[in-house]
Amino acid sequence: MANALSRINPQDQLEVLAVSYSQPAWLEEISRAYAKFPETAKLLATLTIKSPHGDYILQEGLIKTKGKILVPPDMKLQNLIISALHDSPVGGHSGAFVTYQKVKQLFVWTRMKMMIKEFVAACQVCQQAKSERVKYPGLLQPLPVPKFAWQVITMDFIEGLQVSHSYNCIMVIVDKFSKYAHFLPLSHPFTAYKVAMLFMEHIFKLHGLPESIVSDRDKVFTSTLWKELFRLAGTTLQMSSAYHPQTDGQTERVNQCLEGYLRCFVHSCPNKWKDWLSLAKFWYNTSYHSSLDKTPFEVLYGQPPRHLGIDVVESCVVPDLQEWLSKRKLMLQLIQQQLSRAQQR
């Protein structure tokens, strides 16, 4: 059926055909700040006459180099950018390394890494909310690296929270391959049936049934959960489930990250934590993981996330489907190698 725009009156065209898009207003501040400093003012004048010039190009009033916006040596402006990608709910008060990875995707300036380190080290919220990071004694015994995303998942629960919109605990589900995580609110006490219903509502519709679930729950809970999942999926396949009481450190670490995030943003009103779960999920999944050398978002969706409404130049759609599929296959192999290397380390 034809939509409304295909049958409009030509006289009403100006009123109906409107497209809304966003552009950060402070990009204009960067453009105006170029004239305040001799080096950027000289470069701007050169690019106005001839663009591109070396690695630099002038685009919509912004100087760019290798697809990144050149920020003038204005400390106030640089701190504003760091704050937008660190202090905000999207930044999640991440550590210096993760914040640096987010900033360098979009911007470039001299001493950026050192400046971000100093900024994060001086962040009072981080000092109050973050737990101390120390090495664990002994060697790790990691589980084997999966072959593809959502083949093996880990499940854990954060309990003992204040009641928020009738919820008092969080179910944390993490994909062992892509590290992509889902944070689902839950009410305690809960049953395997209730957990299975929540799983079908939020996880199954996106990723399907996993091959195995790693959990530190008792074997009665996990075996009942499997039966409920298969019953809700409408399949009559009979399964035998093996049980091994081994806690997976990955989910425990994600729990710490989520708890730290919530402490940073709801410490003054802890009964509002449920309202922040969606932002916490976006923050965690768009943060750089050293074990992946990418973000979980990029591993799962094949393109980097958008921050501050700015597109990353490297994220372009490949026109040929076969070429895209081959690149996707290669990326999966690289991720497996990277995860194996991280385990060895």
pLDDT score at 238? 47
pLDDT at 101 over 70: yes
pLDDT score at 208? 86
Residue type, 160: G
User: Residue 183: is it exposed, middle or buried by C-beta count within 10 angstroms (0-12/13-18/19+)?
Assistant: buried
pLDDT at 65 over 70: yes
β-strand 152-158 against 212-215: which pairing, if any?
parallel
pLDDT at 262 over 80: yes
If you average pLDDT over residues 54-61, what whole number do you get?
84
Using a pLDDT cut of 90, give the percent of the chain over it. Answer: 11
Residue 65 parent element (H or E): strand 62-65
Residue type, 217: R
Least confident piece of the model among 310-314, 325-329, 340-344: 310-314
β-strand 68-70 against 152-158: which pairing, if any?
unpaired
β-strand 152-158 against 107-108: which pairing, if any?
unpaired
Tokens representing residue 223 in the block: 């075996």
Confidence of residue 316 (pLDDT cuts 50, 70, 90): very low
Confidence of residue 252 (pLDDT cuts 50, 70, 90): confident
Strands ordered across the beta sheet of 169-175? 181-186, 169-175, 152-158, 212-215
The closest of 211, 149, 160 to 182, measured between CA atoms, is 149
pLDDT at 204 over 50: yes
pLDDT at 177 over 80: yes
Confidence of residue 141 (pLDDT cuts 50, 70, 90): low
Confidence of residue 317 (pLDDT cuts 50, 70, 90): very low
DSSP string covering 140-165, please? --PPPPPSSTTSEEEEEEE-SPPPBT
Using a pLDDT cut of 70, give the percent of the chain over it. Answer: 79
Q: Per this entry, what is the length of the chain?
A: 345
d(CA 135, CA 7): 66
pLDDT score at 217? 75
pLDDT in tens, 205-225: 888 888 888 887 777 777 788
Local structure of 173: helix, strand or coil: strand
The closest of 233, 230, 210 to 154, measured between CA atoms, is 210
d(CA 146, CA 213): 12
pLDDT in tens, 271-293: 889 988 998 999 999 988 888 88
pLDDT at 67 over 70: yes
**Do 304 and 295 form a contact (C-beta atoms < 8 A)?**
yes
If you average pLDDT over residues 135-150, what whole number do you get?
73
